[in-house]
Each structure stands twice: as structure tokens, then as C-alpha cells.
A and B are shown apart, each in its own frame.
Chain A
Amino acid sequence: MIRYEHVGLRYGIGPEVLEDVSFTLEPGSFHFLSGPSGAGKSSLLSLMYLGRMPTRGLIKMFGQNIGEMNRDQLASIRQRVGVVFQDFRLLGHMSTFDNVALPLRIQGRPEKEIKNNVTELLDWVGLGDHKFALPSTMSGGQQQRVAIARAVITRPRLLLADEPTGNLDDEIGFRLMALFDQLNRMGTTVVIATHNQQIMNKFAHNRLILDKGRMHIEEGTKKGGLRQRLEGVY
């Protein structure tokens, strides 16, 4: 479970970009994070993947108060969070295989296990033939799939994605949502930041709506709505 209580964030001595944000994400839930540009979506995401620390308030992740953790404990929490960045942030000197294997290597998993899992996942995202390719030689869509594979390879407990469908056509966007849905059904809590109304309207998940640093929550229609709609599409 992830719990935010009266969380605020400001950069330096500037105004608060997040004001008094409170919400709870139940394990296995699926949320869209939306709001106009400049509303604080990226700031909230950076708090969620522990790229920043709040200037006030309480954040509990997986039952632990992050304000009371040491650096090693924070690193261990980050290992349980998968992030798909808007600009992918792949390591240019590494092959597709090594980029996807990186989170497992950070966790110190055995090479044999890494080889099996990464190969299987790359096949699954349709990049089995590109495992030695460098990111610079791949298309935007392929790079995005690598970024997604890297985010999910460790079976994270929380998956965060920042505008994951931004560079994709509708069909690939739907496939991507199917992938996130599948992970969600396997128990991963998913939060997708987007201002793509079409996607949010099509998939009936709860919405965390940020506006001028403040948050309110809109309930989705029903759980499983996504699957029903996908079955209709494919």
C-alpha cells in the first residue's frame, strides 16, 4: 500500500508545486494520473519513484515511512518500483539485453537467471531479434518497448509510467495498455501519468487528478473495464 498524507513539495525557495496531497493506493490498483501541463504530475511521479523527497507530509510505501529510512533502505524500496520514463532514458552504451538486465544486476541476481528472464521478456515484447542492438539504432517505438521491459523485468510492486503512449500510434498504445493491465492483474500497482483523454475515457480506471498542485480523485466505473474494452478491440 502507498499512502500520502498532506504531502507538499517545493523546489528551493519557490512556491509549493504540490500542496497538501493526500491519497492511498491499494495494492493491485490501477490509476491514471492526469491534469493540465504544469499541474505537478511529473513532480508527484518523482516523489513516487523516490527521485525527490517531500518538503512536508508523510509518505508510506509498502508499509514503511520513507522519512525514517536510511539510504540503503530507500535503495531497496526503489528496487520495488518500475518506472517508464517519457524520454525512455536508456543507456546508450549498452545493448537492449544489458539495458533490460540492468535492474536485475543491480539486485545481484545470478547471470543464468538474468539471461533466461531477459531473453524471455524481450521475445514477449517482440524484440528477441534486437537483443544486441544499441538504442541509437532502434526506432522510438522499439526504444519504448525496451524501456517498458526494463521497468517490468523485476516484477515491481509499483509500476509508474510517464506519458507512455505519447509517441505511439493507437494500436501500439492499446497493446501497451494490455501489457500494463496484465501486470496489474498479476498484482502490480500501476500508475500512469497521462493527459490523453481518449485513453482515460476508454479505460475505466480511477483517476488521480492534479490541478495547481492540489489533488482530487475520481472513481473509475468498474474493475475489469479495461479487459472488456480490449476484448472488444482485438
Chain B
Amino acid sequence: MIKRILQKLPASIFSRERVLGVSKSRQKYDLPLAASTTNSFLRLLIALMSVLGLLALSASFALSAMTHRWSEGLAGKISVEIPATDSGGDVIDPSLVKSMTDDVAKILSAHPDVKEVSITEEKKIKELLSPWLGENMVMDSLPIPGLISVTMDEDGKTDLKELEAKLRDVAPRARIDTHESWLTDVVRFTGALQFAATLLLVVIGATTLVAVAGGVRSKLSENKEELELLHLMGASDSYIARQIQKHTMILSLQGGIMGVVAGGIVLIGISMVAGHMSINLIPEFKLSALQKIILVGLPIPIAMLAMITARYTVLRVLTKMP
């Protein structure tokens, strides 16, 4: 039954030419590279490395964007806190905290270097605290400090110590927070993560190149006799290298495209999951047009690097021939 079905199928399904023992079309390469057993391995490996490369590069872009937005968002901004406790740790009457906050705000508004002053409402402060203390916490029983957001002139020449001393005339424990130390730590941390992502990218790239070189070497030893024959017929090293580098470039491009498509699906999945989680602390991650072009175009540098590696490997192997 199966035999009859197979007989009815056109011979082209089984590569008609091969079945008939003929080849009417010119072979793309002088070496039998198309039939090499390492092709699918190399394509798959490059696809997997491209997925990892895409994720590492995206992570690097995300961290860079995060640092930039944090720094930009806090530029020229300071916070003034009027603690709800006195120096002895006793709770101050909330109405007194409110009155001190208003007085501090007045002094700030009158300062020539201050562009904008905004007292953070008690309700907003409770909202900000709720992720840490829980919605059901009895907020009313907690001492809430006074918080004032201040936007300064961007020249940054204001003497904040002098300003703080002035504020302490009306609120003895008033404290100015420039976010500098927090921002420095965050920038340092994200910088370290970005470095790790870049290092990972380099390791992925190096692993890919080593694998490509190994694949090319294996291909050459698989076709050693044919390679030797071309050499003896007077094919120059460049002639032989050109064929293998072209073949490797096409394979890498195919693998790279497969990897970028798969990596893109993973990234979309991650951003969808992240979209459902309302993480206020982390700024929203959006790729710029240039970053999108770089990610989509990732197969091109991968293919170019693989091609150069293949050429270098072939030329090295050929130097062992006289």
C-alpha cells in the first residue's frame, strides 16, 4: 500500500535528479558544503546564541534607559522632610507638623533659586507607604512626616546647607534630601548590571565564533579530499575561502534570523508579563527606533562575524597545505 503511494508521488519529492543520478543545475559550491552534516548544527547553534544575544542586548538597553530616566527625572529636584518625631523620638502633634511644613514651604517659595514647591498631601504619602506597610494598616495611628517636593533652578549653584539652616529656624529637624546618594547607588548598581549584560554579550559572541570556527574545521576535515583536490588544481586560498565564507554567512544569517524572531517573541512575552505587574519603582521600558533597528538587524553583524571567522579559519587550515 505504502509502496504504491510512493510510486505515484512525483520523483522531485525525492530530488528527482539525485534519484536519476544526474545533476543539471550547477552546484553553488565546488566543495559539497550543502550536504555537510554540520549545517543544521551550526544554524541551530547560531539561532540559540542569537536569542541569548538579543536578550542580553535588550537588557543592556533597558538598564541604560532606566538609569537615564531616573537621573533625568531627579535632576534639579530635592525633597524636604519634616519628621513627625522630635529629637527625643517622641511623636509631634500632627497639626504642628502640618504648620511647620507650611512655614517651610513659604520660605522655599520665597527663595530666588526655587522654581516650584509642592507639599505632598497626607493621602499621597499614605499611598506611597501602602506597598510596604499594607493597605489594611491603620494609617491614621501612624505619625506621618511632612514632605515637600522642590524643583530648583538647573544651574545647581544653590547653597543647600545654608538653605537647610534657614528652614531649621521654623522646623528644627527639617532635612533636605538631594537623592544624590540614592541615585549614585542606583546608577552604580545598574552600571554593574549593564557591564554584566555587555560581558555576557561578549561571551555569547566569543562562544559563537569559537563554535563557527569549530564547525568550519569539521566541515574542512569532512571534505578533506575535495579540498586537497581544489588546492592541487590551482585554486588559490582566497578562492577556497570565499566559497566557505559565503556558505557560512548564509547559514549564520538563517540562524540569526531564526534567533531574532524567537528572541523577539520572548521579549514581547516578558514585556506583556511586566505590563500586568504594576511596578512603580521601575520606569517603563521602551525601545527607541535606533535600538529596535539594532535588535532587528542583529543577524547582520552575526553573519558578518561568522563570515570573517570562517575565512580566517579556512586560511589557517590551508597554510598547512604546501
Which residues from chain A sit less than 8 Å from chain B, CB to CB?
A: 49-53, 71-72, 74-81, 83, 89, 91-95, 98, 102-103, 105-107, 132-134, 136-137
Contacts and interface: CB of A to CB of B under 8 A. Distances in A.
B322 A79 contact: no
Interface in B1-39: 18, 21-24, 26-27, 30, 32, 34-35
B274 interface: no
Contacts of B34: 93
A94 B23 contact: yes
Interface stretch (B45-53, B180-188, B230-238, B253-261): B230-238
Given A71-B237, A93-B23, 19 more contacts: A52-B322, A71-B319, A75-B231, A75-B236, A78-B231, A78-B234, A91-B30, A91-B229, A93-B32, A93-B34, A93-B35, A94-B30, A95-B22, A95-B23, A103-B233, A106-B30, A106-B233, A107-B234, A133-B21
Interface string B186-213: 0000000000000000000000000000
11 contacts: A51-B232, A51-B322, A75-B234, A77-B234, A78-B233, A93-B23, A95-B22, A98-B26, A105-B30, A106-B235, A133-B21
Interface in B207-261: 225-226, 228-237, 239
Nearest to B24: A132
B204 to A, nearest CB: 34
B27 A93 contact: yes
Contacts of A52: 322
A132 B25 CA distance: 9
A77 B34 CA distance: 30
A77 B189 CA distance: 63
Nearest to A107: B234
B234 A102 contact: no
Nearest to B26: A98
Contacts of B24: 95, 132
Nearest to A133: B22
A83 B235 contact: no
A103 B234 contact: yes
B38 to A, nearest CB: 16
Contact of A134 (B22, B35, B239, B319): B22
A136 B21 contact: yes
Contacts of A98: 23, 26-27
Contacts of A132: 22-24
B234 A76 contact: yes
A106 B21 contact: no
Contacts of B21: 133-134, 136-137
Contacts of A92: 32
Nearest to B229: A89
B222 to A, nearest CB: 12
Given A52-B322, A53-B322, A83 B234 contact: no
Interface in B115-153: none
A49 B236 contact: no
Please name the 7 residue pairs, one residue from A and one from B, whose CB atoms are nearest each other, closest first.
Answer: A79-B234, A137-B21, A78-B234, A93-B32, A95-B23, A132-B22, A75-B236
Contacts of A72: 236-237
A53 B322 CA distance: 6
